Structure 1
């Protein structure tokens, strides 16, 4: 029986409906979604399945996997969340978004099959993506885990290869502030007898402990595979097994990717574990060409404009390294001007502390929506970050400027910039979305 929305409704109408049918945005647990998925037979695939969890790096790892496998000639489906501008960004089939009608039809299928079981927005859309992938005749399905791992909606599917990218503190209200506990939650996507890739540098011991507990075959960076960066290239290698030739597990002179190198290395390890025949040329081309919106996404030059979704301490540290590199490459002195909007449940002070040595001018603004941090909260976080860093406090060139909206902050930053300066908008997926919306009119 169909519930209270007509199956012929538009995608926009469906999305509004999905936001209204469950009393909370997040409800941890797999009981409800598991029942619906079983009833609709959505958890089994003829395709190989990879799940990717982690605090940061999930999206870029999925992008590397997708590009390498597509270059190798496979049919590939990928989930991604959240979207930046268009809901359809959340599901890609062979590198392309699907039509609005395809999503609407899939929603109608889930709605007809869920009966009286309530589903959150993310649970409903996860089931829809599985339906779309089943209909697409894919070789590989790549599922980006949304929150945590063990209790995330995507974990209703048992993957052939499970990946944990990085571990840091984020979503503390749901996952806590103990990295060992967070790591165990992320490792909850591991399965008995299946490959489990740990791309975490110096991981908490709970990852290996959980892999052993469930009987997963753990493959860990700096133990089972390694990567080395040189001036303009990098190498990847893996320890051979009795069945493998060592020469087949080495890739040299790889191009430095535009997305984080650590995640490229993790993706190659996952490709190796998948057991498909992937030519070396696809590894090289996929690493070089993988891109992802909102990850050091360049919008323009003179001044240089970049957008990044960095919103927690670990991702902010990586952003700081990228901005430092750009500053060092400049042929003349440049200012780095930041436009920042964040959500109130993030660790604002710790995130901004990673960037206080790098950024010269700050433009702060509140995002739209209930979760947005007020401008005053962001400014308090910035002051706290600078007080922790005497170098930043002593070298501050300009007091932070507050604005009513992200659009006004972006406009002001551009008006104050010289042609060789660098403007970076960051702090949230919503920050990136609002800037893009402002620029596109």
Structure 2
């Protein structure tokens, strides 16, 4: 694959910034809540509204990408998401936010995701797919880090946090124009193996690894989602400066993934998914229980920061193992795509209820609400260990690695 195609992938990856808009409420939790005058429960409910339309998008977005031009879909998603960002910036009222977050689920996951993956895949041949998607993952994290820390740097000079929405909206419009001019479209003519078939969905749904993988993703995604609350906990409970805690939040969501996902992948190749994910999950549980039993006292700030950084680092290393059970179990290629869709829908469905529940706990119980959040996260990560044990039994029973 030539350098021009790598450059095009980097350009296309800028379009993934559309996913930053709905999660600004997580990365910049305190600033977002203050700018819009919201309670913790209201902030959480917004992500639930996003999940209400985004989760089905993982299942049905592929249908859209197979029937229409992926390039045009990506462009449309950028422009529509930009319009929503401008509405959030300039219009007032919680109802506006609710409608906007419902719409963001459509313009991002449903319209963009499958079309974007198809467009990226079109930039290389079958022999280049590993390189193509590996380069995309690197670009995705790099773009997110640069933009997030860039916004954090200028945040103090902005009249209101609302303007962050407008900045991202302008960026998305520019990205849409660049993609329209420079990126080649993908072929929309799918073969029969690319088309959605109910029989394939049935086979994927009956395969036990589909659900084991989905629950593993759910457990890890709950951990990633609740890690959002490490930011306000550090600032509100332990007295860490808000700007510094937001910088940690960016490390938690993006930087740890860049620094440690590759190392996690190497361990994964050596030990396979069940052992690797069990080790990572056990480490995360230790950090979570440390937060549960640590007194909420500002004098323990350094200890709290160390625990949070360790938790984020372990979680960042574990990201490479979230979707490996399906290919590792040698699931038939004909149902792998559908299985991944079901797995994603199951795994990310916690967006429908998790943030609302956590926000309510914080509003009702104050600092004690964080304890409930970490206990819930501990249970979710423990579920990952159970699923890994069942996955190990499946792989052993079916002698998955005997031919390796």
- TM-score range with shorter-chain normalisation? under 0.3
Higher helix proportion (structure 1 or 2) = 2
Using structure 1 for the length normalisation, give the TM-score: 0.23
* Higher RCO, 1 vs 2 (CA within 8 Å, ≥6 residues apart): 2
Larger radius of gyration: 1
Higher strand proportion (structure 1 or 2) = 1
Using structure 2 for the length normalisation, give the TM-score: 0.25
